[in-house]
Structure 1
Amino acid sequence: MSSLVSFFAGAFIGGVVAYIFSRRVANVQFDNAKTRDKSQKKRYKDIYIRASNQRLSLGPYIVAIGGGTGLSTLLKGLKCFTRNITAIVTVTDEGGSSGRLRQEWGVLPPGDIRNCLLALAEDDSSLNRLLNFRFDRGELAGHSLGNLLLLAATEIAGDFRKGIEELNYMLAIRGQVLPVTTESVCLVGRTKNGSRVEGELNITTCGPDLEELWLEPRNAKPLPEVLKAISNADLIVLGPGSLFTSVIPNLLVEEVSNAILNSSAPVVYVCNLMTQPLETEGFSVWDHAKWIAKVLRRFPDFVVANSTPLPQDIASRYIAAGSMPLLVTPEEREKFKKIGVYLIEDKLYKINEEGSVRHDSVKLAECLVRIARSAREREIWKESIQFSGMSG
């Protein structure tokens, strides 16, 4: 009897051991399979990233000139189509955190540069939240972390341009961001009654009365990289952005406007979606383009404008705040046609979660990339470009 019990006990124990061993083997195999699966997924992801980077590296060379929210919005769209992007950014900002750092530390205003760097970053979701974080108390109240980081990089590198390069590398951006000049310049204007107006903040209050704009010193030199980028461009984009304080200041650097005039690349002006209170109050799309032509000494080859009215509730809110939607009139279409400017109109806006109207960055970028690719392929771009869903 005892031998029978011993037999069954031994068989049971052996079965348990065999079961445990088989489970261990199965777990090891499962773990190995999971490891292989993760490894394979990582390999596929790496292949996809390399293929995507290869595709983007073959994209057109686009120079985007401006500042403020408009330029950074455009860059977010452009980076989906090419990594050959150069953002040329104005350095006349005097307000907010940028203005304080400019006054207290003697650095060029970092705000617009920061926004463009973040817009071109590979993964801007978490970086945006961190570097756009704005302190709300103490001596740092009003400053954004990104501005302070750019200030720190400048102090360490000993040069504003080198500080930007450090952030270019750290954020792994698609393209490059350049200040139009590293000299400290002031935006100055003269009104129709002969009054002198100094500083960006004052310029924004008297746009319709302005007769002339210039920078002091008048002989400010651009970065060599700025001129090189313009020379190599397949497309030069002006705007979107504040007409007198974001776009035009870049063109007031004489060597920059001369480089644009000498370039064979098409020049595109992207008109704003709305007028800006006081700065462009009462302006039409034609008025915006005419000021560009006055400063650049030629009209752009293309003008891109929104074609679709805003929802009534959104439009009413903006109108109450002093901003009017900008839509091309039939008379303006005739004017542009008469002087040979190709007008592209489409629904180019979207409304964000806060209810603010912004350019649809991807749709706008797609429109611009089509122009650039056509020019790059040496087609007769004014005659050959076909924009589905766009009229002009």
Structure 2
Amino acid sequence: MVIEWALSFALGVFTAFFLMVVFGIRPFRGRRVRAEDPFKGAIERRLSSGPFIVAVGGGTGLSTLLKGMKAFTRNITAVVAVTDEGGSSGRLRTEWGVLPPGDVRNCMVALAENDNSLKQLLDFRFDRGELAGHSLGNLLLLAVSELCGDFRVAVEQMNHLLAIRGRVLPVTTEPISLLGATKDGTRVRGELEISRNGRSIREIWIEPQNARPLAEVLQAVDGAEMILLGPGSLFTSVIPNLLLPDFSRRLCASPAPKVYVCNLMTQPEETEGMNILQHLEWVSAALGKVPDFIVVNSEPIPDDIVAAYSRDGAAPLHLDRHQREDLRRLGCTCIEVPMVRITEARLLRHDSQKLAAILFRLYRDLDI
């Protein structure tokens, strides 16, 4: 009962602020005098004049990348997959018929100016009663969707309400499902089954196959100066976006350089036993062309971390001489750089600041 009351209160407060934004209501109409901060103003001008970036993916990988990128530009559009069916997102998708909000929420938090405080609030997860397993952020996005009657509009309003440095968009608002076929002809459906059978997947597609991307997503691609793919789960975060035909065609037609950011480790079951070249081949097949660049980690990973991950079937992704030669033949320029961060919980993550700095250095060197 206490949890339900707390949720109702939180939703009420959030709804009040939402209505203020939608209808232009300002809670304080008195004249306010505020000293200008020239340093902050200079930062805002620098960020506003930054390059136009489109980042494609989902899950933890994309939000990690965005957290670093917001220090260089606010002209970021994150295009997020909507095939998630696990955890809180999966339950809301089944029970409410809403698109999965989890990855969208994570990306908005990553682009928020005060992301640490916001993350603590929106990532709060209930552990009792009917709300057990749901995060507050997912429920808030659901509430705004119900108020608006449209998931796209709800995401746009959340972008505005959280004052994020950039824009987060679902790749489509149509309900789509991920399907695949294994090497022995078995048909699998949904992200969870695709992930469990990743080692034997022969083909992957979405239904409906003619799902349309958002017009705003295509406009962002047309104006992009650099397009980033990943990092993130290969079959369940990066590739699902590229399986929308109109979206992949627009990406290919864009003159902006395409950069694939490779994962640090293989993923148990999903990409177990795969090397970097095989990751790139799957991305290229879904995109319709080989990306211009691939960013790969060159930093050694501590032995204890490798041992811990190997117990679950994951292994470090590093290039060898043969893969480098194959990449050159494919016309893909390889950028090998140190970009490892180890969390307090001894989890392996991309260093968001290092990765963003590498990507913007590449942008400057290309003189786009």
TM-score normalised by the chain length of structure 2 = 0.90
Q: What is the 5 A alignment of 1:158-197?
A: 158-197=149-188
Pick which of 300-309 and 133-142 moved more: 300-309
Comparing 278-287 and 290-299, the one that deviates more: 290-299
Structure 2 matches for 1:35-114, cutoff 5 A? 43=35, 46-114=37-105
Question: How many Å separate the matches in 2 of 1:303 and 1:291?
Answer: 13
CA deviations on 1:185-229 (whole Å, 9 max, x unpaired) are 000011111111111110001112111111100010000010011
Aligned to 2:123: 132
Equivalent residue number for residue 248 of structure 2: 257
Q: Hey, what does 2:272 align to over in structure 1?
A: 281
Distance 1:372 1:249 in 2: 26
Q: CA deviation at 1:372?
A: 2.5
Q: Which secondary structure state, in structure 1, belongs to the residue aligned with residue 152 of structure 2?
A: helix
The alpha-carbon deviation at position 125 of structure 1 amounts to: 1.4
- Using the TM superposition, name which of 231-240 and 292-301 deviates more: 292-301
Q: Distance in 2 between matches of 1:287 and 1:203?
A: 17
Does the Cα contact within 8 Å between 1:207 and 1:278 map onto a contact in 2? yes
Query: Which residue does the alignment assign to 1:348?
Result: 339
Question: Could you say which residue in structure 2 is the equivalent of 1:157?
Answer: 148
Distance 1:274 1:87 in 2: 23
Cα deviation 1:336-383 (Å, max 9, x = unaligned): 1122210000111110111111000011011111222344x34xxxxx
Output the amino acid matched with 2:283: I
Alpha-carbon separation, structure 2, partners of 1:248 and 1:212:
12
In structure 2, distance between residues paired with 1:119 and 1:158: 25
Partners of 1:144 and 1:305 lie apart in 2 by 33
CA distance, structure 1, for counterparts of residue 88 and residue 175 of structure 2: 17
1:146: which partner in 2?
137
Give 2:24's aligned residue: none
Partner residue of 1:294 out of 285, 299, 313: 285
Whether 1:123 and 2:114 are equivalent positions in the alignment is yes
CA distance in 2, matches of 1:338, 1:262: 22
Long gaps (5+) in structure 2: 1-32
- In the alignment, the residues of structure 1 paired with residue 129 and residue 51 of structure 2 have an alpha-carbon distance, to the nearest angstrom, of 46
Structure 1 distance, partners of 2:291, 2:42, is 35
Letter in 2 for 1:81: F
Partner in structure 1 of residue 319 of structure 2: 328
Counterpart of 1:65 in 2: which secondary structure? strand
**Quick check: 1:66–1:239 contact (8 Å CA) kept in 2?**
yes
Distance 1:226 1:210 in 2: 29
Letter in 2 for 1:151: L
Instruction: Indicate the SS of the match to 2:238.
Output: helix
Q: Tell me the distance in 2 between the aligned counterparts of 1:137 and 1:318.
A: 31
Aligned length: 337
Encode CA deviations 1:108-159: one digit per residue, 9 max, x unaligned.
0000000000000011111110100000000000000000000001011110
Distance 1:164 1:311 in 2: 39
Looking at structure 2, the residues matched to 49 and 204 of structure 1 have their Cα atoms a distance apart, in angstroms, of 44
Tell me, what secondary structure is at the counterpart of 2:305? helix
What residue in structure 2 maps to residue 245 of structure 1?
Answer: 236
Larger radius of gyration: 1
In 1, the alpha carbon distance for the partners of 2:251 and 2:153 equals: 25
5+ residue gaps, structure 1, are 1-39, 379-392
Which of structure 1's runs of 4+ aligned residues deviate more than 6 A?
Answer: none
Q: Considering only aligned residues, what root-mean-square deviation do their CA atoms show, in Å? A: 1.3
Q: What residue number does 1:10 align with?
A: none
Cα-to-partner distance string for 1:27-47 (whole Å, 9 max, x where unaligned): xxxxxxxxxxxxx9x736x22
Distance of 2:287 and 2:187 partners within structure 1: 22
- The correspondence of residues 16-27 of structure 1 with structure 2, limited to 5 A, is none
Q: Deviations over 1:82-117 (max 9, x none)?
A: 000000000000000000000000000000000000
Range with greater deviation from structure 2 (65-74 or 302-311)? 302-311
C-alpha distance in 1 between matches for 2:218 and 2:199? 31
Query: Are residues 1:373 and 2:346 paired?
Result: no
Match of 1:388 in 2: none
Q: Is 1:211 the counterpart of 2:202 in the alignment?
A: yes
* TM-score where L is the length of structure 1: 0.84
1:230 equivalent in structure 2? 221
Decide which moves more: 79-88 or 335-344: 335-344
What is the aligned partner in structure 1 of residue 16 from structure 2?
Answer: none
The CA distance in 2 between the partners of 1:192 and 1:62, in whole Å, is 37
How far, CA to CA, are the matches of 2:207 and 2:363 in structure 1?
Answer: 34
Read off the aligned partner of 1:43 and give its amino acid letter. A
* Matched AA of 2:35: R
Alpha-carbon separation, structure 1, partners of 2:203 and 2:361:
34
Structure 1 counterpart of 2:183, one-letter code: K
